[in-house]
Amino acid sequence: MKRIKLKTKIIILIILVVYLTQYVYAQIRIDYYDNRYYIDDPLINVVSGESEIDKSEKIILDYDDTDGTYKTVFRFYTWWHATCHHVGHDEWIQYKVFKDGSPPEMQGTMITLNQLPLSTYDANNHNWGEWAEIERLEATETDDGYVKYKRECKYQKGWWATLGAHEPDYKTEVIPKLSIKNPIVTPTPTPTLKPKPSAAPIGKIKFDPPSCEWRNLPQNVRVYVDGNKTTTQYDSDIRQYRYTVTVTDPVTLETTTETRTGSTYWRVEQDWTIDKLLVTGPLLDGDKIIDAGGTITMTKEGIGQLNACVYSWKPGTAKWVSGDPPRGSWF
């Protein structure tokens, strides 16, 4: 009879542990890929600022909870400041961490554990982009012209960026009609920002000597790019041109020829070359940022591998793509 009672207690205890484990896990993970959740979900911890967050690694499944070769953890990624799209909140990334020191595997992103109160949301807290010209009508001797511009509020990463109406903002500037007494004034558009390359070149990052020869410590290893290190990026920028017009004075009817200037967005071609590499691995004394072709030193004993990726780019000289201006000739 005592054995039956003992077995019953053990079964109840196991069921309780499983239930509580699932409950605790649900309390700390909100996955916004699932649109059943919103930014004011009661399972998220409400804080008054980033300083209140404990950013230490969160163990979800320890080695004892798996087959013993790995554990599952959350690691702090960043704090997203409030915009018109969302309240301020953090983001964590889920990793599978291996006991043998192998590089961890990313298992999930967009995990929020802490956020500011929903009452802090401000629909007017916009993060506007640059003004971009969308329409132009040149002035004539009888009618004004105009230039229309548009800018958009930049979205931030994440499913939670859903609050507020994200309508673009517009403005119009008038180009006065042509006249000797009222010369043309052409508004100058705001230049666009130069982004970093979005596509990597064909070259492959390699190590010298290769990993099979890493035996004695300390070990110096050269990290280099084998193959093409340069990629071409296309963008647009403001380019000025000149043209001539014949202007008639509305009073005297005299005509004169004048040289005027205009501006338009034009395509730019620019080469970018790999500048710095980020090298990581369990055998290093911390992450290393080096020049492409530079050397790192492994000082720690153990089993592991090195990982390297592009950290920064070096821009080349920007060149205009060939073509004719809307009228006249380029400066």
Task: Give pLDDT, residue 195.
Answer: 46
Within 13 A of 258's CA, how many CA atoms are on the CB side? 16
Report residue 83 CA to chain centroid gap: 16
Exposed, middle or buried, 198 (CB in 10 Å: 0-12/13-18/19+)? exposed
Task: Give pLDDT, residue 217.
Answer: 73
Which among 79, 103, 120 is the end of a domain? Answer: 120
* Residue 151 in domain: no
Please provide the average confidence, as pLDDT, over all residues in the chain: 75
Q: What is the rounded distance in angstroms from the CA atom of residue 55 to the CA atom of residue 90?
A: 10
Q: Enter the tokens of residue 315.
A: 């821009």
Which among 120, 147, 165 is the end of a domain? Answer: 120
Which among 120, 144, 179 is the end of a domain? Answer: 120
* Residue 175 in domain: no
Contact 101, 129 (CB under 8 A): no
Instruction: Report which residue type is found at 219.
Output: Q
Q: DSSP assignment, residue 187? A: P
Question: Per residue in 254-299, pLDDT tens?
Answer: 788 878 777 777 788 888 888 888 888 888 888 889 898 899 888 8
Same domain, 316 and 201: yes
| Bridge partners for 239 per DSSP | 264
Tracing tokens 């592991």 back to the chain, one arrives at 304
Instruction: Report which residue type is found at 2.
Output: K
Query: What DSSP element (H or E) covers 10?
Result: helix 2-28
* Residue 20 in domain: yes
* Residue 64 in domain: yes
pTM: 0.41
Reported as a pLDDT band with limits 50, 70 and 90, residue 96 is very high
More confident residue, 142 or 12: 142
Same domain, 115 and 199: no
Average pLDDT over residues 161-170: 67
* Residue 266 in domain: yes
How many distinct structural domains can be found in the chain? 2
Same domain, 107 and 198: no
Contact 220, 208 (CB under 8 A): no
* Residue 50 in domain: yes
DSSP states along 190-256: PPPP-PPPSS--S-EEEEES-GGG--SSSEEEEEEEES--EEEEEEEEEEEEEEEEEEE-TTT--EE
Same domain, 207 and 320: yes
Q: Name the least confident of 17-21, 128-132, 176-180, 196-200.
A: 17-21
Contact 89, 160 (CB under 8 A): yes
**Of the candidates 216, 186, 157, the residue with the CA atom closest to the CA atom of residue 327:** 186
Domain range for 313: 194-330
Same domain, 114 and 219: no
Q: Enter the tokens of residue 223.
A: 């990290």
Question: Per residue in 24-65, pLDDT tens?
Answer: 333 334 444 443 334 456 678 889 999 999 999 999 999 999
Q: What is the rounded distance in angstroms from the CA atom of residue 265 to the CA atom of residue 119?
A: 42
Same domain, 116 and 219: no
Helices and strands (H, E) in the chain, number of each type: 1, 18
Average pLDDT over residues 153-157: 62
* Residue 106 in domain: yes
Same domain, 200 and 318: yes
Residue 6 in this model has a pLDDT that exceeds 60? no
Q: Name the least confident of 18-27, 78-87, 265-274.
A: 18-27
* Residue 152 in domain: no
Same domain, 216 and 307: yes
Same domain, 115 and 224: no
